[in-house]
Structure 1
Amino acid sequence: MKAKNVTKNIHKSQKLWRYMTLDRLINLLDTKKLFFTPTKFYASTDPFEGLIPKSALDAIAGVLSKSQSEMIESIDKVRNHALLNSPYSDEIKSEAASRFDEIREQAKSHTLKMESIYFNIMSCVVVNCWHTNNSESEAMWKLYSDSHKGIAIQTTAESLIESVIDPKADRMFFSEIKYIDFDSPDIKPGDCVVNGNIGPLLKRTAFQHENEARLYFLPEKQYTNVEEAKPSPELIDVDINKLIHKVFISPYASEPFPSSVRCVLKMFGIPEEKIITSSLLTPGNHLTRMF
C-alpha cells in the first residue's frame, strides 16, 4: 500500500481490534483473505453509511451547477455563431438547431446525472473496519459477539498495512473515521473532508463508541460502468502471520467454546502464546472487594 494512502493521524504502533464471530475467523484463516463489505450492505444497521451531510452535498451540487451553466453557455454561443453564419439552407439550419437543442437539454440534466453517479460510486466502495483502542472494549464484545461467542483479532496499524499482499493494495486507503452531527447547522463543507476524502469516512456521532478506522477502495470493475455498477464484496490477500498478533476469546463465553476456539486455531497453525482468553470480567488476585 502506498504511503500517501495511509493516514498520518494513527500511529503505526496503535493497537487495532476486529471483533467477530468464530465462523468469520475460520473463513479468514482458511482463505487468508480479508473480507471487504460494500457500504450499501450496512444499510440495515446504519442507513446513513456512505452518505454525507447536506452542506457537503450542496457544495458538490454547486460545483456541478457551475459546470453545467458554463457548458450551456458555451453550447449557446456555438449554436448562435453556427446558425447566424451558416451558408446552408433553412432546412439544414433547422436540423442543426434541433441537434443543438438536444445537446443543451442533455447538459441541463448533467447535474442530476452526476449526483446519481456519485451516490452509486459511494454505495460500491468496499470497507474493512477496525476498532482503535489500546485495550479491549466491553461494548464491542457485546456488539459483535454471537450469543456471547465471539473472538477479537488484535494487531497494530503497521501490521495491518504490511499484511496486505494483494496487488489491489495500491488503490487502497487506510484512515480513521470522522464522527460528526449530520444535522448540525454549523457544519461546513470543509468539516466533511477527512484526509483529502469525503466518503466513506464520515459517520454520525451516535456511532462514536466504535472508534473506527478502515481500509477501503473502489473495486476496479466499478470503474468501467459507474452508472450501472452493482455493490459486491471483495476478498483481499493477506499474510496471516503478519496480521495476527493475538486472538482474544470473549470474556462472556463459557466452555466448550474457549476450548473449541483453541483447537480450531491450533489446526490453522496459530501458536498457543497468541491465544488469549479475555480476563476483562475477572478481577485479579491483587484486587480486594469493598463489600
Structure 2
Amino acid sequence: MYIFDPRIRLPEDPDTIIWKYLDLSKFVDLLLYKKLFMSRSDKFEDQYEGTFSEPTYEEIKKLAKDNPHFLDYYKRHRKNVVISSWHINEYESFAMWQIFTQKNEGLAIQSTLGKLQKALAVDTEFEQFVGEVNYIDYKKEYIPFDNTFFPFLFKRKSFQYEREVRIISDLTKFDLEIDNGLKIDVNIEELIEKIYIHPKSENWYKKLVTDLVAKLGFDFQTEKSDLESDILI
C-alpha cells in the first residue's frame, strides 16, 4: 500500500505525467500477473545507489566510532530496499527510448503520479513510498540520514536526465532472501493511462501489442510513438 511521508519530496500536482519504458517481456509479465517488479537497490547499474555523499559519509564515520555496527547497517540495508523507477516528463523522451529499449522494440507506459499512488493501494503486504530523486554533487553536498529512505532519493548530477520518481519499499522487517527483486500487487487498470509503441517499430509489432493487450482482457489506448513520424517538407 502507498504510504505518504511529508519528509519525502514529491510534485504536488497528482496529474504530473510519468512514464515507464520497458521491453515486451516485462510488459507481458506486468499484465499477466498484475504485479509490478521492484529491483533490489544494490543491483542497479549505478554503484552509488543507496550510498552517501562524501560530506555525509564523513559525519557517519564520526558517529560510527562509538557504534561499530552503524556503517554495517547501511551496507546491509541496500539489500533490503527495492525500487521501481519512473520518468517525469510531459512528453515522451527520446533518450529514455534509447536507454531502456532495444532493437526498435519496446513500449512506454504513460501514467500520472496520482494514478500510480492509487494503483499501489491493492498491495496489502508491503508498504510503498513514492519520492522524487534529488540530483546533487556527491563531493560537496550533504544527504540527510534521519530517514532511511533518503540515501535512495539522491543521485549524482550526471543522472539528471533521468528526472526520476521512484517507488521504494524497505523489506528489512520481513527477513526475506531477495535475489534480484520482488513483485508487488498493483491495480493495472488504474496504473496505465496509455501505451506507446516504440517509434521505430514496424506495423506488425504494434498489432502484436494491441492484440496481446486485448487477449489479456484490457482495453488501454495504444498508439505508436510519433517521434519518428514523416517530416512535413
Calculate the TM-score normalised by the size of structure 1. 0.72
Instruction: Say how many residue pairs are matched.
Output: 229
Which of 117, 134, 139 is the aligned partner of 1:178?
134
Q: Secondary structure at the match of 1:167?
A: coil
Equivalent residue, structure 1, for 2:58: 58
Equivalent residue, structure 2, for 1:275: 222
Unaligned runs of 5+ in 1: 69-109
1:1-291 equivalence runs, <5 A: 1-4=2-5, 7-42=9-44, 45-65=45-65, 68=66, 110-111=67-68, 113-164=69-120, 165-169=122-126, 171-183=127-139, 186-187=140-141, 189=142, 192-193=143-144, 196=147, 197-219=149-171, 222-223=172-173, 232-271=180-219, 274-283=221-230, 288-289=232-233
- CA distance in structure 1 between the partners assigned to 2:10 and 2:174 by the alignment: 31
- CA distance in structure 2 between the partners assigned to 1:130 and 1:194 by the alignment: 23
- CA distance in structure 1 between the partners assigned to 2:162 and 2:146 by the alignment: 19
Contact 1:10/1:157, CA 8 A, preserved across alignment? no
- CA distance in structure 2 between the partners assigned to 1:3 and 1:117 by the alignment: 25
Q: Secondary structure at the match of 1:3?
A: coil
Contact 1:131/1:211, CA 8 A, preserved across alignment? yes
Which residue identity lines up with residue 173 of structure 2 in the other structure?
Answer: Y
What do residues 44-87 of structure 1 show as CA deviations (whole Å, max 9, x unaligned)?
x222222211111112222333xx2xxxxxxxxxxxxxxxxxxx
Structure 1 residue 225 displacement after superposition: 6.0
Contact 1:124/1:232, CA 8 A, preserved across alignment? no
Q: Secondary structure at the match of 1:256?
A: helix
User: Percent same amino acid at aligned positions?
Assistant: 25
Alpha-carbon RMSD: 2.3
Structure 1 residue 264 displacement after superposition: 0.8
Equivalent residue, structure 2, for 1:75: none
- CA distance in structure 2 between the partners assigned to 1:207 and 1:121 by the alignment: 23
Larger Rg over CA atoms: 1
- CA distance in structure 2 between the partners assigned to 1:254 and 1:23 by the alignment: 17
Structure with the bigger percentage of helix: 1
Q: Secondary structure at the match of 2:131?
A: strand
- CA distance in structure 1 between the partners assigned to 2:201 and 2:156 by the alignment: 31
- CA distance in structure 2 between the partners assigned to 1:194 and 1:153 by the alignment: 33
- CA distance in structure 2 between the partners assigned to 1:224 and 1:250 by the alignment: 38
Contact 2:10/2:130, CA 8 A, preserved across alignment? no
- CA distance in structure 2 between the partners assigned to 1:62 and 1:230 by the alignment: 31
